Amino acid sequence: MRADDVTRAAGLALETLATASHLDWQQPAGDLAWSCWETVEHMSDDLFAYAAQLGPANPSTSTHVPFGWQQRRPGGPALTIFVDPAEGPAGLLQVFETCAALLAAMVAATPPDRLSFHNYGASDPAGFAAMGVVEVLVHMHDVAAGLGLTWSPPADLCAVALRRLFPAAPSGDAPWPTLLWATGRADLPGLPAQTGWTWDGAPRP
């Protein structure tokens, strides 16, 4: 996956979220224990963290770049990136857009064979781009459920993310439902929702 895929996913999310500025962002995000606000902060934090992992010229493949992090409430997401609540949804979306731009820029600028740490296994810029896209697409599903928005990302973007991170996922159903199944959020015909899952960020030939 490429920088343009990250930009595209984020742009689609921003278009959808921009329609919800008048809604209550403290509603739970779907089945998550986080609010919609916290979930968008988490999306931003992941995009930032993936960009950061690609930053060092000789990144570690065994540990994160050591930015500090915290939880603002018990059960909330552990984050480096927080948004001042006084800035409202507009500020939240500006931070999200900025973190997506950081990841896209790092994916575009980083040597394609650079490997850096992730909990699910060391990955390359294309892998971190795919991770960013999946974080956006899937957590937008959660946020859209909480805010009552319609969210159905393009099949081609879902398909390329599946191929990159979930190569063993079944191929007989549409890409978006399959991506939701692969991330434990939905059933597929004959396949119940997964209770535990990971992706495979290993570099591809």
CA distance 142 to 38: 11
Residues 107 and 115: beta-carbon distance below 8 Å:
no
CATH number, domain of 71, equals 1.20.120.450
Please check whether residue 89 lies inside any domain of the structure. yes
Average pLDDT value over all residues in the chain: 97
pLDDT in tens, 29-84: 999 999 999 999 999 999 999 999 999 999 999 999 999 999 999 999 999 999 99
Please check whether residue 54 lies inside any domain of the structure. yes
Q: Helices 155-165 and 3-17: crossing angle, nearest 10°?
A: 130
Residues 28 and 145: beta-carbon distance below 8 Å:
no
pLDDT band of residue 205 (cuts 50, 70, 90) is confident
Please check whether residue 147 lies inside any domain of the structure. yes
pLDDT in tens, 28-37: 999 999 999 9
Please check whether residue 148 lies inside any domain of the structure. yes
At position 195, the amino acid (one-letter code) is: T
Domain count for the chain, please give it: 1
pLDDT band of residue 195 (cuts 50, 70, 90) is confident
Please check whether residue 172 lies inside any domain of the structure. no
Structural domain boundaries, residue 27: 3-152
Residue 123: phi and psi, rounded to 5, are -140, 170
Could you tell me which of 181, 125, 133 has the C-alpha nearest to residue 153? 133
pLDDT score recorded for residue 193: 87
The residues, any chain, with a CB within 8 Å of residue 159's CB and separated by 6 or more, are: 175
pLDDT score recorded for residue 23: 97
pLDDT in tens, 127-175: 999 999 999 999 999 999 999 999 999 999 999 999 999 999 998 899 9
Please check whether residue 188 lies inside any domain of the structure. no
DSSP, collapsed to helix, strand or coil, labels residue 27 as coil
Residues 98 and 47: beta-carbon distance below 8 Å:
no
Sign of CA pseudo-dihedral 72, 133, 138, 12: positive
pLDDT score recorded for residue 169: 95
Please check whether residue 85 lies inside any domain of the structure. yes
Please check whether residue 124 lies inside any domain of the structure. yes
